Amino acid sequence: MSTNRTTTKTALVIGGGIAGPVAALALRRAGIDPVVLEAYDSSAEGIGGTFMIAPNGLGALAVVGLDAEVGRIGQPVGPMVIEDGKGAVLAEFAGLADLPHGRLMRRADLYEVLQRRLRETGIEVRYGKRLIGAEEGADGITARFADGSSATGDLLIGTDGTRSTVRTLIDPAAPGARYTGLLGIGGYSPYLLPGRAGRGESVHFANGARAFFGYWGLPDGAGTAWFSNVPQPEQLTYEQVSAVTNEEWLRRLRELHADDVPARDVLRVADADTMEVFPRLEIMPSVPHWHRGRMVLVGDSVHAPSNSSGQGASLAVESAVELARCLRDLPDHTAAFAAYEALRRPRVEKIAANAERTNNQKASGPVARAMFRVLAPIAMRTFMSPEKMLRPVHGYRIDWDRRVSSSV
């Protein structure tokens, strides 16, 4: 077991989404006292659609003692099946037998677990604190917020998502998030799928004629969860999205998926009230500077892969834990930040590059889709085997007890 060598006493964690609370819990375990500062006025309970916490994300959550609790929410991810728009199977990835199942869950459910644990641990969360600037001194850093208040700590950790303010404070020339050209829409339908899909034992991804469709049965035959990635060249704002009623979005989706099976059947009876429209399917290009002085980035603010990776939240929690481990072991925070970046950058950039290829496929035209139909079964037998594709991503574990050295 590594002994605590940190000289950092306090940290300002900017952003109370997913990475922020996990970073705060891991920092506390590393002997650092964090406070979480969130832009919104109140907690985001109930907000957001469905995402996956993969086996590697559960592994990172184990470090902060949350793997069992998170492993009970949502539903397990069975084999992932890639289909054409008519339901014909092109490829199938069974999970790796020696790893726990990933979990599909509502973002809101994970958020609630994290908020509860912050309360139990006595970590303070301040709402209505939108960071607008920061000044460094010899002994610490002072964050300034839009409401006129400020807070001071030894370090400032930017877990403020794809539109990060901390990223720009670190480097005013930092790249911004890149829109994927896809709108994410998801919801529930009482439609009962046949076979194992209907029992929730498999998750299906279909390249439809005009849009991509994902679906899986809910446990206990309670219906179907679904999402569609709709090509949308001009990015919409949250305001533009909410100016259109869910009934209208559903009508448009039914048109887009009119020729796709089973999408058209799922959507025919889908419940508009359960729908979420997410205009921020964004990717972070490679960020040249992950840290400067007393500031460092974690999660979507520095490495948002596209949703096609199924890794956004899992990589965010991995990075949160890894940063805390580096700060625990390297008394000089500059050395700790450098070690953190060296440990994280190659992994997250590789996963992002693979996901971008999948995304291009989703936004592609009929010719590329036809090619994919031919090539996918061949690829599955060769370079896309579950062992080759999934092991490096899902099998990754952070060894919390191992000491980080500055030369990692």
| Site of interaction with ligand FAD (CB under 6 A) | 14-20, 37-40, 44, 47-49, 51, 107, 129-131, 159-161, 165, 278, 299-300, 304, 307, 312-313, 316
- Give the containing element (helix H, strand E) for 354: helix 333-362
Residue whose C-alpha is closest to residue 86's, from 267, 190, 186, 207: 207
Contact by Cβ (8 Å): 52, 310: yes
Q: How far apart are CA 182 and CA 233, in angstroms?
A: 7
What string of DSSP letters covers 17-74?
SSHHHHHHHHHHHTT-EEEEE-SSSS--TT-S-EEEE-HHHHHHHHHTT-HHHHTTSS
Strand order in the sheet with 50-53: 50-53, 103-106, 75-76
Judged by CB, which is closer to ligand FAD: 107, or 257?
107
Q: How far is the CB of 40 from ligand FAD (least distance, A)?
A: 5
Cβ closest to ligand FAD, residue 204 vs residue 264:
204
Backbone angles phi, psi at 198, to 5 degrees: -65, -30
Residues contacting 347, CB < 8 A, separation 6+: 315, 396
Q: Which residue is nearest to ligand FAD (CB)?
A: 17
DSSP H helices, 160-268, are 165-170, 195-198, 238-242, 246-256, 263-268
Token couple for 146: 């839009």
Q: Which is nearer to ligand FAD, 300 or 329 (CB)?
A: 300
State which residue, 148 or 195, has the beta carbon closest to ligand FAD.
148
| Neighbour tally for 203: CB within 10 Å | 23
CA nearest to 156, candidates 136, 172, 126, 175: 136
Smallest separation (angstroms) from ligand FAD to the CB of 298: 7
Shortest distance in whole angstroms from residue 220 CB to ligand FAD: 23
| Closer residue to ligand FAD, CB minimum distance, 44 or 113 | 44
Which one, 170 or 313, has the nearer CB to ligand FAD?
Answer: 313
Q: How far is the CB of 368 from ligand FAD (least distance, A)?
A: 24
Contact 333, 294 (CB under 8 A): yes
- State how far the Cα of 78 lies from the Cα of 1, in Å rounded to an integer: 35
Shortest distance in whole angstroms from residue 320 CB to ligand FAD: 8
Q: Which amino acid is at 181?
A: G
| Nearer to ligand FAD (CB atom), residue 111 or residue 337 | 111
**Nearest distance from C-beta of residue 18 to ligand FAD, angstroms:** 4
Nearest CB to ligand FAD, comparing residues 76 and 128: 128
Maximal C-alpha separation, the chain: 64
Shortest distance in whole angstroms from residue 313 CB to ligand FAD: 4
Q: Least distance to ligand FAD from the beta carbon of 39, Å?
A: 3
Please tell me the distance from the alpha carbon of residue 23 to that of residue 62, in angstroms, as a whole number.
13
CB of 240 to ligand FAD, least distance (A): 16
CB-nearer residue toward ligand FAD: 40 or 370: 40
Measured from the CB atom, the residue of 49 and 71 that comes closer to ligand FAD is 49
Smallest distance, Å, CB 355 to ligand FAD?
A: 12
- Least spacing, CB of residue 303 vs ligand FAD, in Å: 9
- Our CB check for ligand FAD shows the closer of 131 and 218 to be 131
Say if residue 69 is exposed, middle or buried (CB neighbours under 10 Å; 0-12, 13-18, 19+).
middle
Q: Which residues contact residue 182 at a Cβ distance below 8 angstroms, ignoring those fewer than 6 apart?
A: 212, 229, 230, 231, 232, 281, 359, 362, 363
Alpha carbons 223 and 189: distance in angstroms, whole number: 6
